Amino acid sequence: MRTPTSSRATVPGSSRSTPTSVASAIAPRPTALRCAACRMVGRGSTRRGSCKSVERLTPPRELQESQHMSDMFRQPVTGARAWRSADFAGESAWLTTIDAAGVEVLAAAAAVLPDDPHGWTNVDAGDVITDSVADTIGGLAHDLWRGRGFFWLRGLPSDEPELLRRLFWVIGNNLGVPTMQNKRGQVLSEVFDRFEGAERVVDTRGYESSDELTFHCDGGDSIGLACVRSAPVGGQNGLVSMAAIYNELLQAQPEHLDVLEHGFGLYSRREASSDGGTSAGGVSDRRLPSFAWNTDAGDEPCFSAWMNRRLAELNAEMSGTPFTEAEQAALDAVDEIAERPSMQLQATQQPGDVVWVNNLAVMHRREGYVDHDDPAQRRLLYRMWLNDREPAAVIAEHAMLRAGIRGPEPTIGADSAA
């Protein structure tokens, strides 16, 4: 049974259609998952796998002059999306628990998947979902796409990592459309410390290390994480509403909004590809707005937000173009607000927990952790990037994030010794 949550009000315009300038990058619910993954990756490039890595999280130049840049419309964001920690009266206000019967239904759907994970993208496992479980997943989807911008699900079995991975895949494909998250084309990857505590370098992605990950957003409309094993020390998660941060800035520090609406260039890390090569890293002068209103969304403007300070800092460092004083002050202001206890929700994923976060509404973080000495006991999570099947009418620059990171073929990652 689904746990009641806070208000279901939506952000203005959040359920409206996608602007025509980016409609070709968005597809309706497909009949086969492979078609969905390929279509999400293939659109917008001259051929599959041909994009330059520096473009993977930034829009083409022709999209730089977006409608929102002319008038800089501003108003407070209202509804469930503009939450603060005080809006949740205890754990029951944000945590949903699935019972044993629900797990059995998901397991039956997972049993439809082939033994070889590489075949999962060809199968629609949603046909065997019962109405009751569909209602639970539908409620979670509402929280993620139309409500507060995240959900936290507890109760999945973690003692069988392969079963949890299959359940995670079934849940994800009933929530949205998977998109690739690295140059290897992985639509489901594994999160663990590949460097055994060593400090990561410029081109090491955060989820591959045990370092602290400060508040940030990722690619795709959303990111999901399923916990197989937690760390013995550290690893606490934090969530913060970007709409609430925007409202705080609008009320108390509006001088920073011009800079944040203009946005920042993002560094593109070098990555190993599926063919054994390494993609080129690079800097970009194309800016991604941190906060934006699409005033052409329909009857009401549509708010969206996205920030990854680490990629912006690397871009400034590697390009030899330091932040201006105004840019530094604006980023610091966002960080200061996000770190307030009154603004964020803090909890640690337990084995069997699944957390999903809307990347255009909520930032997430993870504190650094110390892992087990025994490799078989080390922290392990599964990760997916998903796109909404009925995407909000956000600005073109934010809609382009749905392309994810283009790889040659959608595949299921299996890199750890789970």
Which CATH number does the domain housing residue 61 bear? Answer: 3.60.130.10
Whether residue 9 lies inside any domain: the answer is: no
Task: Flag whether pLDDT at 140 surpasses 70.
Answer: yes
Instruction: With cut-offs at 50, 70 and 90, classify the pLDDT of residue 418.
Output: low
What are the distances in angstroms from CA 359 to CA 105, 124, 308, 313, 388?
29, 25, 10, 19, 11
pLDDT recorded at residue 270: 67
Asked if residue 213 is part of any domain, the answer here is yes
Residue 269: pLDDT band with limits 50, 70, 90: low
In-domain check, residue 55: yes
Nearest to 158 by CA among 353, 356, 366: 353
**Domain span including residue 27:** 20-412
297-340 pLDDT, tens digit each:
888 999 999 999 999 999 999 899 999 999 999 999 999 999 99
Q: With a cut of 80, say whether residue 126 has pLDDT above it.
A: no
The DSSP symbol for 104 reads H
318 within a domain of the structure (yes/no): yes
For residues 206 and 406, the model is more confident at 406
Task: Tell me whether residue 304 is in a domain.
Answer: yes
Is 11 part of any domain? no
Residue 284 pLDDT? 81
Q: How many domains does the chain have?
A: 1
Per the CB < 8 A criterion, the answer to whether 378 and 192 are in contact is yes
In a domain? residue 261: yes
H helices present in 160-308, as ranges: 161-175, 242-252, 257-262
Residue at 5 is within a domain: no
Full-model pTM? 0.79
Burial annotation 341-365 (CB, 10 A radius, 16+ → b, else e): eebbbeeebebbbbbbbbbbbbbbb
